[in-house]
A and B are shown apart, each in its own frame.
Chain A
Amino acid sequence: DAKTTQPPSMDCAEGRAANLPCNHSTISGNEYVYWYRQIHSQGPQYIIHGLKNNETNEMASLIITEDRKSSTLILPHATLRDTAVYYCIVRTDGATNKLIFGTGTLLAVQP
């Protein structure tokens, strides 16, 4: 699976949009971009995933560049409860395929 690069940490003001970038320049054509987050001392939580088109759900939006070499996770109105480590992972689709975590971005939402 392709590797990803994320900034180690970011701050965001409560109520503002949080934009978390991810570089995945070696992504293959059949690899999806997945985003998970981990709140302290809990298991990771799925947020969103996409292949090439932008995606939106009740939690976030995922913007993937046309060349698919980078993406941005957008939390439209960050709250204090969104403080977590956010992981961007590229992975081929399939129930038996492993999910390999990188170092992620620690998002700190400030009051």
Chain B
Amino acid sequence: GAVVSQHPSRVICKSGTSVKIECRSLDFQATTMFWYRQFPKQSLMLMATSNEGSKATYEQGVEKDKFLINHASLTLSTLTVTSAHPEDSSFYICSASRPGGGGEKLFFGSGTQLSVL
């Protein structure tokens, strides 16, 4: 089946540094990928929609200059948390949509736990 790979699975960084998270679709081309954030004991919150070859679409309240999204190829989207602060500590999850088939399904990465000290 379709697989989405997310890397790294866990990252610890100092406040003020930037962190890049990669999301790859391994066996299909994904023109659209989605980025979510999840705080402990809460549901997933959609941050942005990443479109290959164009600018990402951010949800209301998500700072586009803070969370930089690049979708340079049909199999790779990256999320960069710039100048990270402790309040950015969260579980970040990507998903990719496989087009076609009997009803599209979204496939999710395994998530990245970001801890900002």
Contacts and interface: CB of A to CB of B under 8 A. Distances in A.
Interface of A: 32, 38, 41-46, 49, 87, 93-104
15 contacts: A41-B91, A41-B113, A43-B6, A43-B108, A44-B108, A45-B108, A98-B34, A98-B46, A98-B49, A99-B34, A101-B44, A101-B45, A101-B46, A102-B43, A104-B43
B111 A95 contact: no
Given A96-B49, A101-B44, A46 B105 contact: yes
A interface, by DSSP: helix, strand, loop or mixed?
loop
A41 B6 CA distance: 13
B111 A43 contact: yes
A99 B104 CA distance: 11
Given A95-B31, A95-B100, 17 more contacts: A32-B103, A41-B111, A41-B113, A42-B111, A43-B4, A43-B95, A43-B108, A44-B44, A44-B95, A49-B105, A94-B104, A96-B31, A96-B32, A96-B49, A97-B104, A101-B43, A101-B44
Contacts of B46: 98-101
Nearest to A32: B103
B52 to A, nearest CB: 11
